[in-house]
């Protein structure tokens, strides 16, 4: 079996080779539309009532750069944002949450759990939109962490994925920072806003998750934050 792909697990007792047996193949629960509370941010199931705050938060992005890699947006006016949010909030996959940082007290973005496959224990965090005042903040990291922890610890999924436009360098850097492993790029996979999209894929597996979880939790801990509102140590320092 020396010609098998490197790094692909298999059961050595089988011929031809197949994957190892899993200890628990019970289908995982679907995520529920429930709030999640953090140290610096709250997640609220997305609702049309969030639309006005979200539209105001989006106005700081005058050039619309934050929407460049999204399949929707920017929105011309508050009515267009409300129409989109009302429909987005009603979907079952993705399931969306509004992000309310404690510092601002307003809904400043959204994110989702999506591509949900309970039978295979596979789930994705994606459709992440952060307004300018939410970007690169403790609350932004914690918002993602709350859903990552919910998927892996509360619901017991074995595979958490992240994907993005292969040209979206901020998203690629965010995936690496959170501990996702790059798996590859699917070329010419989608058409988004009339343009070709190559899609980069990343993942965290269940046996990798405890170390990733503990590093992010340590970075978010109040003891890592100074009076100036800045972290004392980088997230990467907790993984080394």
Residues 6-34: tens digit of each pLDDT: 889 999 999 999 999 999 999 999 999 99
Pick the more confident residue, 4 or 205: 205
Residue 25, domain member (yes or no): no
Residue 24, domain member (yes or no): no
Residue 94, domain member (yes or no): yes
- Grade residue 215 by pLDDT with cuts at 50, 70 and 90: very high
Residue 145, domain member (yes or no): yes
Calculate mean pLDDT across residues 218-222.
97
pLDDT greater than 90 at residue 73 = yes
Provide the mean pLDDT of the chain.
Answer: 97
- How many structural domains is the chain composed of? 1
Q: Report the alpha-carbon distance of residue 5 to residue 9 in Å, rounded.
A: 9
Instruction: Write down the pTM of the prediction.
Output: 0.97
Calculate mean pLDDT across residues 126-138.
98
pLDDT greater than 60 at residue 1 = no
Give percent of the chain above pLDDT 90.
96
Calculate mean pLDDT across residues 210-239.
96
Residue 22, domain member (yes or no): no
Residues 74-129: tens digit of each pLDDT: 999 999 999 999 999 999 999 999 999 999 999 999 999 999 999 999 999 999 99
Residue 64, domain member (yes or no): yes
Q: What is the pLDDT of residue 140?
A: 98
Structural domain boundaries, residue 193:
36-238
Q: What is the pLDDT of residue 144?
A: 98
Residue 172, domain member (yes or no): yes
pLDDT greater than 70 at residue 2 = no
The CATH number of residue 65's host domain is 3.40.630.30
Going by C-alpha positions, the residue among 78, 98, 86, 96 that lies closest to residue 32 is: 96
Residue 178, domain member (yes or no): yes
Task: DSSP for 80-132, please give it.
Answer: HHHHHHHHHTT-SSSEEEEEEETTT-S--EEEEEEEEEGGGTEEEEEEEEE-T
Q: What is the pLDDT of residue 3?
A: 86
Cα distances (angstroms) measured from residue 18 to each of 4, 12, 27, 176, 204: 11, 8, 21, 30, 22
pLDDT greater than 80 at residue 138 = yes
| Structure token digits, residue 54 | 């979200």
Q: What is the pLDDT of residue 239?
A: 86
């Amino acid at each position: 079996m020396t010609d098998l792909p490197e790094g692909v697990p298999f059961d050595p007792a089988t011929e031809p080779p197949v994957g190892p047996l899993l200890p628990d193949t019970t289908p995982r629960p679907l995520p529920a539309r429930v709030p999640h509370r953090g140290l610096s941010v709250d997640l609220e199931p997305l609702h049309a009532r969030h639309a006005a705050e979200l539209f105001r938060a989006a106005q700081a992005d005058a050039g619309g750069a934050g929407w460049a890699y999204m399949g929707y947006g920017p929105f011309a006016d508050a009515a267009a944002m409300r129409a989109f949010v009302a429909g987005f909030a009603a979907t079952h996959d993705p399931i969306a949450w509004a992000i309310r940082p404690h510092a601002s007290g307003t809904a400043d973005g959204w994110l989702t759990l999506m591509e949900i496959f309970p039978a295979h224990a596979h789930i994705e965090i994606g459709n992440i939109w952060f307004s300018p005042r939410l970007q690169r903040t403790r609350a932004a990291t914690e918002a993602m962490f709350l859903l990552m922890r919910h998927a892996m610890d509360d619901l017991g999924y074995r595979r958490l994925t992240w994907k993005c436009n292969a040209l979206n360098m901020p998203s690629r850097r965010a995936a690496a920072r959170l501990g996702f492993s790059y798996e590859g790029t699917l070329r010419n996979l989608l058409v988004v806003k009339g343009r070709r999209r190559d899609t980069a894929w990343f993942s965290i597996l269940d046996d990798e998750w405890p170390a990733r979880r503990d590093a992010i939790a340590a970075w978010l801990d109040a003891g890592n934050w100074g009076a100036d509102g800045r972290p004392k140590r980088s997230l990467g320092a907790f993984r080394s």
